[in-house]
Amino acid sequence: MSTSGTCGMFTFGGKAKEKIPFGKKEAQAVMDELSTADDADIITLGSPQLGINELKLLAKLTETKKFSRRCIIFCSRTIYNNAMKIGLAGKIEKSGVDFRCDSCTCLTPYVTKDRYNAVITNSVKGAYYLSKSNKLRVALKDIKSIAEEYTQ
């Protein structure tokens, strides 16, 4: 939402100066609009950066499995260090994932038009900027679908 507006913070429920109706139908329309590819050679997760609960989910979904293509997780150094301490980062790395800390999916030179034509991501914000700024086609999917489709 902050990508299409100029407001950096939104609240759900309670009193608000302006209300924006947004349900499953609107969410699906955004997903459809931003999905310009069915498949790609690289997966990026994060943007906003992944949190500890998303890492726990990913670890569960990829246990004993390997990604079939390159997968980069973007998360903060603090989250990564916490994930290391509890053995979570190691578990996920066993599935072939690379971590990039304190970096932006769209502004780092990892995912560029020179290297890839398309990217698979779970990030709506990432999909918008990877498409508009980086000129890549995007397969926008949720983490569960990505883990199911691209690990074996």
Partner 1 sequence: MIISNCRKIVGGTGEGQTLVTIQPINFLATVDANTGTITDPLHELYCKSLKGSVLVLPYAIGSSVGAYAIYSLKEYGNAPHAVVCSKADITTASGCALANIPVVDLPNGIPLSSLKQELNARVEADARRIVVGFS
Nearer Cβ to partner 1 (105/151): 105
Give SS3 for 99: strand
Dihedral angle sign, alpha carbons of residues 89, 95, 98, 101 = negative
Question: Interface with partner 1 includes 107 (CB under 8 A)?
Answer: yes
Of 57, 44, 58, residue with least CA distance to 131 = 44
CA angle, 123 as apex, 128 and 139 as ends, to 5°?
Answer: 75
User: What secondary structure letter does DSSP report for 47?
Assistant: E
Question: Interface with partner 1 includes 110 (CB under 8 A)?
Answer: no
Q: Which of 37, 57, 101, 104 binds partner 1 (CB under 8 A)?
A: 104
Nearer Cβ to partner 1 (68/133): 133
Question: Interface with partner 1 includes 29 (CB under 8 A)?
Answer: no
- To partner 1, the closest distance from the beta carbon of 9 in angstroms equals 12
> How far, in Å, CA of 17 to CA of 34, rounded?
29
Q: Which of 74, 99, 110, 128 binds partner 1 (CB under 8 A)?
A: 128
Question: Interface with partner 1 includes 112 (CB under 8 A)?
Answer: no
